[in-house]
């Protein structure tokens, strides 16, 4: 075997790694596209006034988190739709247990958000006065 001739024992794993890297690059590009599409959808869903998303009144900390949550959920929904579309296009269903696990995670997210609506509302509180009267 000459030094310039390809070595089939070494080249096959190398080619396999190159193929895997190319598939990962394509997956990253598809994910990037999905995130961009969902970000555009989020901006179209919420009314823009002065370049800021108009959300219902909320706490200072949640005012920063809610736009992020909107973008993440929109991206998640876009990616999930892409997974379903790919499964149908390729006639290759995803694993049922995996789908159930994702659905459980989505339910936990829903429960956390619903839980956030049931906390006490500090906007209705007042501080004790100097007369030592109880909180109103």
pLDDT at 79 (0 to 100)? 87
- Domain boundaries of the chain, sorted by first residue: 15-48+68-114
pLDDT band at 48 (very low <50, low <70, confident <90, very high): very low
Task: With a cut of 90, say whether residue 56 has pLDDT above it.
Answer: no
Residue 36 CA to residue 107 CA, distance in Å, equals: 25
> What pLDDT was estimated at residue 96?
96
Q: What is the per-residue burial (b if ≥16 Cβ within 10 Å, else e) of 51-66?
A: eebeeeeeeeeeeeeb
Q: How far apart are CA 34 and CA 103, in angstroms?
A: 20
Q: How far apart are CA 38 and CA 46, in angstroms?
A: 12
pTM beyond 0.75 = no
**Over the stretch 98-134, which tens digit does the pLDDT of each residue have?**
999 999 999 999 999 999 999 888 777 766 655 555 5
Q: Which has more pLDDT, 119 or 24?
A: 119
């Amino acid at each position: 075997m000459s030094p310039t001739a390809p070595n089939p024992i070494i080249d096959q794993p190398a080619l396999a790694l190159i193929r895997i890297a190319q598939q990962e690059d394509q997956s990253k590009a598809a994910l990037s596209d999905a995130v961009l599409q969902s970000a555009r959808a989020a901006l179209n869903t919420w009314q823009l006034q002065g370049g800021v998303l108009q959300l219902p009144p909320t706490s200072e900390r949640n005012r920063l988190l809610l736009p992020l949550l909107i973008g993440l959920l929109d991206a998640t929904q876009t990616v999930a739709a892409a997974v379903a579309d790919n499964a149908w296009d390729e006639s290759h269903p995803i694993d049922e247990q995996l789908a159930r696990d994702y659905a459980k995670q989505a339910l936990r997210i829903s429960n956390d958000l619903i839980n956030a609506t049931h906390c006490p509302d500090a906007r209705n509180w007042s501080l004790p006065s100097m007369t030592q009267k109880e909180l109103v």
